[in-house]
Amino acid sequence: MSHQSTEKHSYFCPCPRGLEGALAEELNEIAQLGSPAVTLKVHTQVPGGVHCSGLLSDAWRVNLHSRIASRVLLRLTHGAYKNENDIYDMTLEQEWESWFPVSHTIRVDVTAVKSPLRSLQFTTLKIKDGICDRFRDLCNERPSVDTGTPDMRIVGFLDAHNFTLYLDTSGEALFKRGWRAETGDAPLRENLAAGLLRTSGWKPGTVLFDPMCGSGTILIEAAQILAGIPAGARRHFAFEKFNDFESAKWLAIKGSFKPNPLPTTPTIFGSDISGDMVQIAANNLRNAGILFEVPIKQIEAQEVKPPSDVESGIMLTNPPYGERIGVRGDSTLSSDDLLTAFFTAFSTTLKQRFAGWSIFLFSADLGLPKLLRLKEARKTPFFNGALECRLFRFDMVAGFNRREAAKPKAE
């Protein structure tokens, strides 16, 4: 057994900005899966991620179960720097050979906040040189660089004074769950969809409806949660290529989750205006291992009705904006007019048919409540990549319409 698997390591789990609190909560839940002895400890939240610590097997668990983290980065060193040579020296000191063999390909990425160094590209090169020179000194060989599909990803982070060096345990970003065969335009990333579900307060058993479901990302995240399928059940991770990887122990962790009994009546529903999208979403659900019915209809969002006879439910959707609204009909109207017409009709549908429901709309259009002529109960800021977005919550009060109808009409 290698010393790496018995010692504690520090980790940083990046996530979409706005989801740090949701990720910390999720990591605490994942920590409990390591019972009886809980070894994963959750530390501080910083913009864009959460610091935690634990055994190497805790990193495996987070990779397998986290729906919100983008990666799990293992911290190798952290210290002050003045220039690129300091960074080279700190990199050269690391025992790379204890983590992976020289035959593995590498990729180095650097991010910086307020760093005085002029060129991140030069800094990236210095880190790569440090790793390659370490191997060359030891075995007269150097690892090759592969920026596309490297075996090992190394991540450097610089702030104004300190340099932190990480080894990525995930490999491909964790939002790539391994099921997505085809995407529509601009799909929502899986970890963002999972974060939105958590923020909305949706729990398995509550009726969930996405009336503009696109390729089905929100539906699939919810269906996997309902089925008890871990986010990473269908993919591989970089840690499987580490030296002394204990595959039997990993298979035991991977095999220890208990799937939930399959629901007999549907509680997750979707619809989309595009028949192609309905088909893609259905295929994606199958690829994601969903063995129960998730009904998806082809229908315009402004025509929808509650999909089951429950008194209330959660509607969570990422309405199309700009380009994507163009598929919705009349080409003689400008996209602004189309947008206004669409949201006016959609708002009427919500008021008339969805009394008692909580409506969550995720959008980069910060003027959405005005378009809908509704007052949001809450708005939570998120970033979809670099794009600032909001999750708007609207509570559809029963009797909304009767009140609207009773108001005197403006002359």
**Could you tell me the CATH number of the domain that includes residue 292?**
3.40.50.150
Domain match, 264 and 376 both: yes
- pTM for the structure as a whole: 0.92
Residue 276 CA: distances (Å) to CA of 96, 298, 319, 401: 48, 9, 17, 34
Q: How many residues does the chain have?
A: 411
Instruction: Give the pLDDT score at 182.
Output: 60
Residue pair 30/40 in contact by the 8 Å Cβ criterion? yes
> Token pair 């995407």 is at which residue?
183
Q: Domain for residue 317, yes or no?
A: yes
List pLDDT tens digits, range 59-86. Answer: 999 999 999 999 999 999 999 999 999 9
For residue 332, what is the DSSP state?
Answer: T
**Residues 372 and 282 reside in one and the same domain:** yes
Question: Tens digit of pLDDT for each residue in 238-287?
Answer: 999 999 999 999 999 999 888 899 899 999 999 999 999 999 999 999 99
Contacts (Cβ under 8 Å, ≥6 apart) of 55: 5, 6, 7, 8, 9, 39, 40
Residue 36: the pLDDT is 79
Mean pLDDT of the chain: 92
Specify if 358 maps to a domain: yes
Paired sense of beta strands 152-158 and 106-112, if any: parallel
Residue 178 lies in a domain: no
Q: Would residue 333 count as lying in a domain?
A: yes
For residue 383, what is the enclosing H or E element? strand 378-384
For residue 330, the model assigns a pLDDT of 52
Residue 209's DSSP bridge partners are 269, 315
Q: How far is CA 156 from CA 91, 125, 127, 275, 278, in A?
A: 10, 11, 8, 45, 41
- Phi then psi for residue 318, to 5 deg, are -115, 90
Structure-block tokens of residue 35: 């019972």
Distance between start and end Cα atoms, the chain: 82
Q: Is residue 239 part of a domain?
A: no
pLDDT of residue 397: 86
Answer whether residue 26 shows pLDDT above 60. yes
For residue 76, give the H/E element and its range.
strand 73-80
> What is the DSSP code (8-state) at residue 264?
S
Sign of CA dihedral 324, 328, 333, 336: negative
Residue 179 covered by a domain? no
State the total domains in the chain: 2
Burial (CB count within 10 angstroms: exposed 0-12, middle 13-18, buried 19+), residue 126: buried
Phi/psi at 229 (5° precision): -90, 120
Are 81 and 197 found together in one domain?
A: no
On the question of pLDDT at 53 being above 60, the answer is yes
Q: What is the largest CA-CA distance in the chain?
A: 87
Higher-confidence residue of 366 and 223: namely 223
Same domain, 11 and 137: yes
Amino acid at 368: L
Assign 304 to helix, strand or coil.
coil
Q: How far apart are CA 288 and CA 274, in angstroms?
A: 21
Q: How confident is the model over 310-340, as pLDDT tens digits?
A: 889 999 999 986 544 444 455 566 777 888 8
Nearest to 233 by CA among 169, 174, 148, 188: 174
Using only the alpha carbons of the chain, give its radius of gyration: 24
For 239, which DSSP code?
Answer: G
**Both 205 and 157 in a single domain?**
no
Residues 60, 7, single domain; the answer is yes
CATH at residue 35: 3.30.2130.30
Q: Does residue 57 share a domain with residue 99?
A: yes
Token output for 392: 């708007």
Q: What is the mean pLDDT of residues 128-143?
A: 98
Answer yes or no: do 130 and 210 share one domain: no
Same domain for 162 and 201: no
Mean pLDDT of 175-198: 85
CB neighbour burial string for 312-349, b if at least 16 within 10 angstroms, e if fewer: ebbbbbbbbeeebbeebeeeeeeeeebbebbbeebbeb
**Across 146-171, average pLDDT:** 97
How many whole angstroms separate alpha carbon 390 and alpha carbon 217?
A: 18
* Residue 60 placed within a domain: yes
Within 10 angstroms of residue 98's Cβ, the number of other Cβ atoms is 12
Residue 119, C-beta contacts closer than 8 angstroms, at least 6 positions apart: none
- Residue 248 domain-assigned (yes or no): no
Range of the domain at 211: 190-230+259-396
**Whether residue 64 is found in the same domain as residue 119:** yes
CB of 237 closer than 8 Å to CB of 206: no
Instruction: Please indicate, yes or no, whether residues 221 and 95 belong to a single structural domain of this protein.
Output: no
Whether 98 and 194 map to the same domain: the answer is: no
* pLDDT of 411: 46
Closest CA to 171 of 60, 78, 309, 286: 60
- Cβ atoms of 49 and 20 closer than 8 Å: yes
